[in-house]
Structures are given as C-alpha cells and as structure tokens.
Amino acid sequence: MEAAMKEAMDPMEEGKSSSFQRVKQGVEDRSKRVAKTKEIISKQAKQTKQILSKRAVKIAKQAEEHEKFINKVTHFLSVLGSGGFCFLLGARPQDIPYVYCVFFVTFVPLRWIYYRFKKWHYYLLDFCYYANTIFLFDLLLYPKNEKFFMICFSFAEGPLAWALIVWRCSLVFSSVDKIISVLIHLLPGLAFFTIRWWNPTTFAAMHPEGTSSRVSWPYVENKLYLWTWLFLVPLSVYTIWQILYFLIVNVLRGQRLLRDPEVMTSYRELSKKAKKANNLWWQLSGLLGDQNRLLMFIVLQAIFTVATMALTVPIFLSYEISIVFQILKISASVWNGGSFLLDVMPRQVILKEKLKSERDAVAQSQQEHPVENQNMTKPENSSEEES
C-alpha cells in the first residue's frame, strides 16, 4: 500500500519541481532581459551625451573662428533690438513678459553650448538660472497667481537686479555672452515692473475706484502678507536652491572638479578674481581661514540675498522708487559696458594678437624646418622604446 502511494506521489512531485524550474527559469530570463535593456539604454544615453558634447564643441570652435564677423553682426542686431525693445516698452508694455520668455528659451540653450565648450557649464546651476526657470513657470502657467508673482518679484528685483550692480555686469553690444548675462538679470525685473504698474490687462484687479494712488497689481495692504510673500517665502525657496547647489556641485561632482581645475564654477571664478585683486571679498572670505572660504562664500551670498530681498518691499510699494531703480540698473550696466570697452577690451585684443602671432610663428617654423623637427623627436622616441 505504501509503495503504491509513493509511486503515485513521485509523478506529482516531479511535476511540481518541473513547474518550479520553469517559473524560476522564466524569472531569470526576464531579469536578464531587463538588465540587457538597461545596459542598452545606458549605452545609448552615453552615446547621445557624447554626440551632443562633440556638436557643442564643434559649434563653439566655429564661432571662435569667425569671432570678428559675429561681433559685428551682434553689435548691429543688438542696437536695433534695443531700439525695438524701447518702442515696445512704451507702445505695448503688456508684451514685455513674452519677449523675456522668448529670449530665455532661445538664448540659454545657446549659452549652454558655448559654456560646455569652455567648461563653464556649472554656471548654469547658479541662482539666476534657477530663478529664471521659476519666472517662466509663473509667466506662462500661473500669470494671475498673486503669491507666485510676489515671489518672482522678490527674486527679480532683489538678488538678480543687485547682481547687475555689485558684480559689475557690462552691457556690451558686440558681445553675445555679455548681452545675455545682462539681460538674464535685467529683463525679469522689467517684465515684473510692467505687470505691476503698466499692464492694462490687469487694471480690473487693481485699486478700487475713487482712490487717488496709482493703480497696481497685486494690491496689498496687509504688511504681514507683504513680508511673508516678498521676503520669508522667497528666502525659503532660495535656501532650497543653496542646498541643492551644494549637494550637486560640491558633493556629487566634487571629485570631477578636483580632477579638472579648468572646469569653472561661480565660487572658483569669484575667489580667483578676489584673490588676484586682494579686495574686500577675499579678505572677508578668509576670516575663518583658507580651508573655510567656501563656507564663508555661502554665508556672504546668503547675507547679500537677505539684504536685497528686504529692499524689494519698498520697491514693490512705491512706483517712484521702482522707476528710479529701473534707471539705476540700466545705467549701471551701460556704465560698466563703457568701462569694459575702454579699459578691458584693448588689453584683451593686444593679448589675443600676441598669442595669435606666437602660434603663427611656431606653425611657420614647423613648415620651414620639418626635417629638423623630426630629428629632434627621434632621440625621445628611441629612448622611450629602449626604456
């Protein structure tokens, strides 16, 4: 009886084990296919990244080869464009925010191409680009959200606007890079100024009838509400950016920056210039020693942000102060542009011509004496082979 039961159970156990093996094999095959798919996607992503990087380098090199012609065209278009912008500012101020949006989505990708070639692409993680991305969301997706508008106004007329003055941004019509740098900091403030004070499409939501003060949007009387959305909330959003920036640049990409000193970040650039000039920023950043300069840079930038955001409150409330501030920003960038053209650019031109003449002399000597150059390299090659 027991033998019969064992014989009956053996086929059942064999069937169970075979079905288990089939399931196990299916799971293994599926995991292999998933791993293979991931590997293929990873390779394709790397190849795409390499192709984009090579194209960016090629475009940037071609631009450098035709630098003079590009500068002439840039100057021509910039002067005409500034005239057209001034006309639009007076005739249709409600269109200025859309002009800004077109500018940002057009020129920032071009800047990435150029900065990738120069190894400056980490600049695109700076606060100004973070803020400008937020501006696009506000203007295109939430144009009537008062709270969102006030956060953006605080960024545009606070840290970004004062950076024009403090960091001496120069309006040079012949330089695409400098024009973009100025407009990234200047245009947002002008766009939000027109929305607040000059936009006829928002007049229905402005001051009640019978008031003598100039109409504006949004209309805010509560001081706590004003300071919350012009100062406290924007400061929190800035803090999020600062944490993300530190994690990405100094933690995740820290080893990459150490391996390649040519890769530039805002901290590297500012510390380099401050050290060379031995100015106030360099002295303040060294209060806690050289090993803590990065920390001091973050602290100084936070102090700058807090101070400039606090100043947006009177600018937000007063039309007269807003007008004066717009004039101040434009005047500072134009003055700095004149200083650059007269003081800095001549030295740069002389240096470029000197380097070019040296390269031409080396190339000419190599063409005139190719045999000597080959003979000079032979002993080195033979010694390497022997070693």
pLDDT tens column, 21-38:
777 677 777 777 777 787
Is the distance from CB of 296 to CB of 286 less than 8 angstroms? Answer: yes
Neighbours of 168 (CB within 10 A): 14
What residues contact 336, with CB distance under 8 A and at least 6 apart? 168, 169, 170, 171
Which position has the token pair 């970040």? 265
Per the rule left: phi > 0, alpha: psi between -120 and 50, beta: everything else, 222 is beta
Q: Which tokens go with 8?
A: 């009956």
- pLDDT tens-place string over residues 62-118: 666 677 888 899 999 999 999 999 999 999 999 999 999 999 999 999 899 888 888
Of 308, 310, 226, nearest in space to 216 by CA: 226
- pLDDT tens-place string over residues 162-172: 999 988 899 99
Distances in whole angstroms, Cα of residue 230 to Cα of each of 98, 155, 158: 23, 9, 10
Per-residue pLDDT at 382 exceeds 50: no
Q: Is 238 exposed, middle or buried (0-12, 13-18, 19+ CB in 10 A)?
A: buried
What residues contact 118, with CB distance under 8 A and at least 6 apart? 60, 264
DSSP three-state, residue 213: coil
Looking at residues 124-148, what average pLDDT do you find? 94
Neighbours of 271 (CB within 10 A): 18
Q: Half-sphere exposure (CA, 13 Å, Cβ side) for 312?
A: 32
- pLDDT tens-place string over residues 249-298: 888 887 877 788 888 888 877 777 766 666 776 777 777 777 777 888 88
* Range 52-58, long-range pairs (CB < 8 A, 24+ positions): 53/116, 55/113, 56/112, 56/113, 56/114, 56/116, 56/117, 57/116, 57/117
Produce one character per residue of 311-345: b if its CB has 16 or more CB atoms within 10 Å, e if not. bbbebbeebeebeebbeebeebbeebbeebeeeee
Residues constituting the chain:
387
For the chain, the straight-line distance linking the first and the last C-alpha, in angstroms and rounded, comes to 85
What residues contact 224, with CB distance under 8 A and at least 6 apart? none
Is the distance from CB of 171 to CB of 179 less than 8 angstroms? Answer: yes
Is the distance from CB of 244 to CB of 104 less than 8 angstroms? Answer: no
DSSP string, 40-77: HHHHHHHHHHHHHHHHHHHHHHHHHHTHHHHHHHHHHH
Looking at residue 381, what is its pLDDT? Answer: 45
Of 345, 312, 3, 355, nearest in space to 154 by CA: 312
